[in-house]
């Protein structure tokens, strides 16, 4: 089974506010993306590949409402809170936080947890309190994963090493996996490997051998969990990633990195076509 994830960020913001969206009016944005991809994605066998799009919260409902009957597209949210409501129990004090039950009630089928940007945010909060503890971040993410799975959501759990951690990448990734997945139902979790040290302008991405090495390691630690490349599935690396047996898919963000930088449905479909070789 292959997994193609799409994490849409900054695309809910117009360019004049510093975002990268100019493909549709904001109030139509989520539905526009679903409507302009789902029919073309039906050409792929849904028993062979799963397509999941993680939307910013404001666009979840319009995206879900745009799903056609038997759509191959699944809609997810960009993270959930580490606590949740419970029948006969916790009513909740969740102002500013999206719970997994709320995401499920909206119609989401999955969520992304532990993205390098989320990890950086949690570390930044702790740093303001004078604390530096990456294991604490993994424990918080573990709570999020358990809440998501309990609510019936599938999870894309992101792991990765920074440039400072790269020399000890095995230990870093092992802690993220073992602590983050401790006690969680792994049947509903896929792993995205983000080489944080290689993400950003002017940085050199890992080569095929490095990605394969990490993919093999992650499968060993997780007893064979699906592993996707989270450093950016792109037009120029799609065929290379597809050739790695240990890698089961990829995470797409931007589709265009020069000129009018941003996400474009037709380019998203081209990336998938190259990866699937169809």
| Choice among 50, 118, 144, 194 that is catalytic | 194
Alpha-carbon span 178 to 189, nearest angstrom: 13
Tell me if residue 48 is catalytic. no
- How many residues are given for the chain? 278
Single out the residue of 193, 182, 264 nearest to residue 226, CA to CA.
Answer: 193
Alpha-carbon span 90 to 105, nearest angstrom: 17
Alpha-carbon span 49 to 226, nearest angstrom: 12
Tokens of 13: 């913001």
Tell me if residue 220 is catalytic. no
Alpha-carbon span 191 to 156, nearest angstrom: 6
Tokens of 250: 């990829």
Alpha-carbon span 122 to 53, nearest angstrom: 24
Tokens of 63: 């995206």
Alpha-carbon span 197 to 48, nearest angstrom: 31
DSSP 8-state secondary structure symbol assigned to residue 178: H
Handedness of CA 253, 165, 206, 52 (dihedral sign): negative
Question: Which residues, including other chains, have CB under 8 Å from residue 128's CB and lie 6 or more apart?
Answer: none
Q: Which residues of 200-229 are buried (b: 16+ CB within 10 A; e: fewer)?
A: eeeeebbeeeebbbbbebbbebbeebbbbb
| Choice among 50, 59, 115, 144 that is catalytic | 115
Catalytic positions are 115, 194
């Amino acid at each position: 089974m292959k997994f193609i994830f799409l994490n849409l960020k900054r695309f809910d913001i117009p360019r004049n506010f510093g975002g990268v969206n100019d493909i549709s009016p904001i109030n139509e944005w989520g539905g526009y993306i679903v409507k302009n991809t789902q029919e073309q994605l039906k050409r792929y066998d849904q028993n062979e590949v799963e397509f999941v799009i993680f939307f910013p919260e404001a666009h979840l409902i319009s995206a879900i409402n745009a799903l056609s009957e038997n759509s191959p597209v699944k809609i997810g949210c960009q993270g959930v809170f580490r606590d949740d409501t419970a029948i006969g129990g916790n009513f909740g004090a969740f102002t500013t936080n999206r719970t997994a039950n709320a995401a499920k009630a909206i119609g989401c089928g999955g969520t992304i947890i532990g993205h390098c940007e989320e990890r950086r945010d949690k570390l930044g909060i702790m740093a303001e309190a004078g604390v530096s503890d990456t294991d604490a971040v993994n424990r918080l993410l573990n709570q999020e994963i358990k809440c998501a799975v309990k609510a019936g959501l599938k999870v894309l759990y992101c792991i990765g090493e920074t440039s400072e951690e790269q020399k000890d990448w095995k230990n870093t990734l092992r802690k993220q996996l073992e602590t983050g997945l401790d006690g969680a139902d792994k049947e509903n979790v896929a792993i995205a490997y983000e080489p944080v040290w290689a993400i950003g302008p002017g940085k050199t991405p890992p080569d095929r051998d490095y990605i394969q090495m990490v993919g093999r390691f992650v499968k060993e630690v997780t007893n064979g969990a699906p592993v996707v490349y989270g450093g950016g599935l792109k037009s120029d690396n799609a065929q290379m990633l597809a050739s790695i047996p240990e890698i089961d898919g990829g995470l797409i963000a931007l589709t265009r990195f020069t000129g009018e930088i941003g996400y474009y449905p037709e380019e998203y479909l081209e990336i998938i076509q190259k990866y699937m070789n169809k």
